[in-house]
Amino acid sequence: MRLHGLIFAVSGGAATAGVSYDPKVEAFCRHMGLAWAKLGGLTAESLCALVDEAAREDAEAVSESVQRQRTLERVNAVTAAELLAR
């Protein structure tokens, strides 16, 4: 899944799994604690297993990751505004 699709899915609380075609997708999945696999060598069986893993993910843990990320975003916005005000 493309990075922005992953971000929107996680933000909406959907069970989410990433298929890494780019290091940023892999990094986001690792950061958020999501199931993921590399695109190269992906088979129908491994994709089904990935989807099953995503369905079993702890929704509360993912929600906590989302909340931590939102807090970091607020800090970044405040910091950027302070820097621009100088």
In this structure, what are the phi and psi dihedrals at residue 24, rounded to the nearest 5 degrees?
-70, -35
Task: Give me 54's structure tokens.
Answer: 């995503």
Residue 59's pLDDT is 80
pLDDT in tens, 33-43: 899 999 988 99
| Domain range summary for the chain, segments of one domain joined by + | 3-85
Contact (Cβ atoms closer than 8 angstroms) between residue 36 and residue 21 = no
| pLDDT block averages, 10 residues each, the chain of length 86 | 86 89 92 90 93 86 86 92 93
**3-state class of 20 per DSSP?**
strand
pLDDT on residue 1? 52
